[in-house]
Amino acid sequence: MLFTHAGGDQQVKINKSGDAQTASLVFQSNWAGHAEMGLAGSTDFSIKVSGGGSWPEALVVKSATARVGLGTSTPGARLALSHGGSGDDYLLAGEASELFRLGADGNGSCAGSWSGGGADFAEYFEWQDGNPGQQDRRGLSVVLGAKGRIRPAQAGETPIGVVSALPCLIGNDDCGAWQGRWQRDAFGALLRDDAGLPLVAPEYDPDRPYQPRATRAEWAVIGMMGRVLIRRGQPVDRRWIRLGAAEDLHPAGTAAPDLQLDIWLLR
C-alpha cells in the first residue's frame, strides 16, 4: 500500500453496510484475538481487549456526543471513569510515585495541594422559608432555624456564616444526584458490595429527573470560614475580622454601585 501527497487529502476507509455491523481492526497473538478497535456493533468508536473469551470495552467514544468512557459504554460526562468492580479504578498522575489520585469510588487525594479561586470554606444549607421568591441573598448573614435550616440573621443574633458567591470548597453537596441514591449506615457512610461498589437504594428511580442543589433556590452555599463578602450592616460574629471595604480591596469596577460590601475574615 502506497501513500503519497498527490491528489489532495488521503484516507483509508473501512466501511460497513449498517450501524449494527462491525468495521474494526483485530490484533491477534498466535491467531488468538486480544484487542479490537473500531465500530463494533454500533457507530461508537471503541477499544476492546480480551485475555481469552470475553471482550470488555476498555474505552468508548460516543459518536453522537463525543463523550469518552473508561470502563463504561454510557459515559455521562465529557470524560467518565466508571468503577469496573475491581475496587481499584483510579485516574493517576506521577512518575516514580502517585502524586494525584481520583477514584471511581468517589474519593480523591494528592501529594500537593488543592487550590481554587474562592477564599472561604462553605456548606450547603436549606432555607427555612424555601426562598419562594428566589431572592439574591448573597452577602447576608444567617443563623440556624428549625430543623437545622437557615434564615437571615437579625440584629443582636450571632450568625453561623454568610451566603457566599465564590467559595473555595463546598461540603454537603449532592454531586448532581438525589441525596438518597445510595444506601448508607447510621453515620452516613456508603454501604458497598463485595466488589467495593456502593449499594443503590431501592427507592432510587434513575428515570426520574433531578435538579441539583446548585440550581435550586431553597438551597444556599454558606461560607463559615475564610474570607467572604458581607453586605454592610449585617450582623457579625465578634470573632470575625473586618478586612476592609470591598471597593478599597477589589479592583475598580467589580462591585455593584448600589451595594455596599465589606470583606470579612470568618473564623
Question: CA geometry: angle at 251 spanning 250 and 253, to 5°?
Answer: 105
Set of cell numbers at residue 149: 435550616
pLDDT of 2 higher than 70: no
Set of cell numbers at residue 25: 481492526
pTM greater than the 0.95 cutoff: no
Lowest mean pLDDT among 149-153, 172-176, 224-228: 172-176
Residue 230 contacts residue 237 (beta carbons within 8 Å): no
The mean per-residue pLDDT over the stretch 97-114 comes to 80
Residue 121 contacts residue 134 (beta carbons within 8 Å): no
Q: How confident is the model at residue 252 (pLDDT cuts 50, 70, 90)?
A: low
pLDDT of 231 higher than 60: yes
Q: How confident is the model at residue 99 (pLDDT cuts 50, 70, 90)?
A: confident
pLDDT on residue 154: 97
- Distance, in Å, from the CA atom of 228 to the CA atom of 167, rounded to the nearest integer, reads 8
DSSP string, 31-97: TEEEEEEEEESSSSEEEEE-SBSB--EEEEE-TTT--EEES-SS-SSSEEE---SSS--EEEE-SSS
Looking at the DSSP assignment, which residues form a beta bridge with residue 123? Answer: 171, 222
Set of cell numbers at residue 43: 457507530
Cα–Cα distances (Å) from 182 to 28, 29, 203, 205, 208, in that order, read 42, 43, 9, 11, 15
Cα–Cα distances (Å) from 193 to 189, 196, 213, in that order, read 13, 5, 28
pLDDT of 165 higher than 80: yes
Set of cell numbers at residue 176: 448532581
- Distance, in Å, from the CA atom of 201 to the CA atom of 233, rounded to the nearest integer, reads 46
Q: Of 236, 267, 238, nearest to 155 (Cα)?
A: 236
Q: What is the pLDDT of residues 199-216, one digit of tens each?
A: 999 999 989 999 999 999
Q: What is the pLDDT of residues 106-134, one digit of tens each?
A: 778 888 888 888 899 999 999 999 999 99
Set of cell numbers at residue 242: 473586618
For cell 438551597, name the residue.
219
The mean per-residue pLDDT over the stretch 95-113 comes to 79
pLDDT on residue 19: 92
pLDDT on residue 70: 84
pLDDT of 96 higher than 70: no
Q: What is the pLDDT of residues 38-57, one digit of tens each?
A: 998 899 999 999 987 788 88
**Which DSSP symbol is given to 229?**
E
pLDDT on residue 85: 55
